């Protein structure tokens, strides 16, 4: 039954359901329909749907945006389809080095790990860095020592092996070998000659309390060397969340996302210029990154439950769900 307010309007009409929403991504790049069999496309869409609905289920029960983000990303890390966790790409030395980060919009607390090799779900370790340490980012062996102190079991690096990622490494090494014979490349021997296959998974969410959160996890770049770290664990570049603006998770060529501080730039445009997340995201992804060669995309959510998914590549694995919209899953630009 409805109570009656001072204005004689039923209180059940005045009260509005608090918005809850979540968006996820599984990487952006040269994703073309011609390279997908009907069975493969169906499998990818099913996994994206599973991840976004797992996160949304927590929100629907009153769970926090942090828990929703962590849950959705864990589903993607456990799938060999995406470049994170079980599907992480190979380094030049035929290993896997993974990065992850998470941020809470309520208080701008954040946690990140980089270059970890024996953590089954890096996003969970990033969450522990935020919740159980005084630090923001831990790397390599230090991060794994912290993990052991927190009761996380270290795993064999080989559990992340997948045949299709290994073939990608072999192809990348062939291109590297050819490039090394090129004198122009030799003058820039510390740079990769080709934008080798990359990818990332991420999630952004809004809970019933009005708090946003963002998280990102990745295996990095195929054939990466020298302990290369991309934007995914860098707060402000690959991940950012602030209740005063929005939450962002990025995917793409990390070096550009770091240099242009992409995630934080989008939120700054929202907060200080009064732009919508759609306007801010489009400006940064299309007008800032594209002219300098930066490729990729982002997922964005604000405290009203609005979602935007801009990308400047041929496709981006993505999915959304809110209390006012049904589950949406997209892969190709036309979706």
| Backbone angle region of 260, left / alpha / beta, with phi > 0 → left and psi within -120 to 50 → alpha | alpha
Contact, 239 vs 102, CB < 8 A?
yes
Our answer to whether residue 218 is catalytic in this structure is: no
The residue from 70, 71, 91, 200 that is catalytic is 200
Identify the helix (H) or strand (E) that includes residue 327.
none
Q: How far apart are the first and last CA of the chain?
A: 43
328-332 and 315-322 as β-strands: parallel, antiparallel, unpaired? antiparallel
Q: Measured between alpha carbons, how far is residue 117 from residues 57, 126, 149, 232 in Å?
A: 30, 14, 16, 16
Contact, 50 vs 83, CB < 8 A?
no
Q: Which residues contact 234 (CB under 8 A, 6 or more apart)?
A: 101, 112, 257, 258
Burial of 7 (0-12, 13-18, 19+ CB in 10 A): exposed
Secondary structure (3-state) at 68: helix
Between CA 114 and CA 140 the distance in angstroms is 6
Between CA 300 and CA 238 the distance in angstroms is 12
Q: Measured between alpha carbons, how far is residue 84 from residues 78, 139, 162, 321 in Å?
A: 8, 17, 12, 22
Between CA 12 and CA 181 the distance in angstroms is 73
Count other C-beta atoms under 10 Å from residue 304's C-beta: 13
**Active centre residues (catalytic):** 200
């Amino acid at each position: 039954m409805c109570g009656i307010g001072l204005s004689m309007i039923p209180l059940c009409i005045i009260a509005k359901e608090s918005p809850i929403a979540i968006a996820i991504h599984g990487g952006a790049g040269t994703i073309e329909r011609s390279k997908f069999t009907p069975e493969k496309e169906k499998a990818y869409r099913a996994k994206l749907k599973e991840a976004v609905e797992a996160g949304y289920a927590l929100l629907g029960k009153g769970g926090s945006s942090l828990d929703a983000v962590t849950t959705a990303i864990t589903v993607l890390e456990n799938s060999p389809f995406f470049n994170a966790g079980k599907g992480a790409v190979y380094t030049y030395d035929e290993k896997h080095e993974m990065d992850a980060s998470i941020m809470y919009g309520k208080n701008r607390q954040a946690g990140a790990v980089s270059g970890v090799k024996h953590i089954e779900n890096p996003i969970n370790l990033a969450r522990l860095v935020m919740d159980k340490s005084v630090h923001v980012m831990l790397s390599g062996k230090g991060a794994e020592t912290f993990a052991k102190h927190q009761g996380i079991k270290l795993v064999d690096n080989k559990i992340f092996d997948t045949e299709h990622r290994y073939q990608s490494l072999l192809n990348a090494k062939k291109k590297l070998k050819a490039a090394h014979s090129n004198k122009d490349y030799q003058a820039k021997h510390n740079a990769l000659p080709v934008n080798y296959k990359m990818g990332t998974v991420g999630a952004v969410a809004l809970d019933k309390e009005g708090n946003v959160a963002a998280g990102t996890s990745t295996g990095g770049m195929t054939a990466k060397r020298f302990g290369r770290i991309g934007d995914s664990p860098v707060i402000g570049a690959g991940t950012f969340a602030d209740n005063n603006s929005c939450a962002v998770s990025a995917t793409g060529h990390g070096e550009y996302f770091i240099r242009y501080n992409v995630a934080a730039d989008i939120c700054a445009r929202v907060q200080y210029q009064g732009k919508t997340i759609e306007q801010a995201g489009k400006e940064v992804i299309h007008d800032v990154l594209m002219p300098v060669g930066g490729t990729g995309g982002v997922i964005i959510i604000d405290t009203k439950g609005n979602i935007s998914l801009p990308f400047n590549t041929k496709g981006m694995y993505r999915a959304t769900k809110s209390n006012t919209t049904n589950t949406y899953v997209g892969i190709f630009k036309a979706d």
